[in-house]
Amino acid sequence: SSSLSHEVRESRVSLTARPYPGYRGAMSHSTPAKDGSSRPDGQAYTVVKDEDAWKSQLSPLEYHVLREAGTEAPFVGEYTDTETEGVYRCRACNAELFRSDHKFHSHCGWPSFYAPLAKDSVVYLEDRSLGRLRTEVRCANCGGHLGHVFEGEGYDTPTDLRYCINSVSMTLEPRPAAE
């Protein structure tokens, strides 16, 4: 529908410009665990816990990815190839992040989406940790590391963006069956 197209265009983030006011710039050693309770734009995260609480809630791999900005191995994630319809939520805080109808097969080894559920469901940080510029994507509700977003790769999507997201960072709430 035209409203969805408008919504997707409006959610597009320019990766060559500052994605939001208060953008913090190069974050080569940034992790959610080190960054504390404030979002990159200076607002407080809605969900704040100490690291011991996160460690008791999350598995070691979930903690490594969500709190230490790690990456799960490619092609092994639970949601890499799934086509189940529904809403993807942050595994750490249950916030809605992505919809299955914005998911596409990029063959990169991780689930790929062309837009977040809403513009304010994720926050962006500049990441130079691998010696090159990337844009990190975090949950706007708890600060959990989700993955990265890439622009201009030539995928046939409405936004020309690929949100490359770790499966272990999310849960999938399937769409209820029609009655």
The β-bridge partners of 112 are 104, 164
Phi/psi for 15 (5° steps) reads -85, -10
Structure-token match 């622009």, residue found: 151
CA distance 53 to 37: 14
Q: With residue 162 as reference, give the H or E element that holds it.
A: strand 161-165
Active site residue 108: no
Q: How far is CA 47 from CA 37, 53, 142, in A?
A: 8, 12, 5
Residue type at 126?
E
Tokens of 34: 């080190």
CA distance 96 to 99: 8
Of 133, 145, 166, residue with least CA distance to 31: 145
**Active-site position among 90, 93, 139, 164:** 164
User: Which amino acids are annotated catalytic?
Assistant: 164
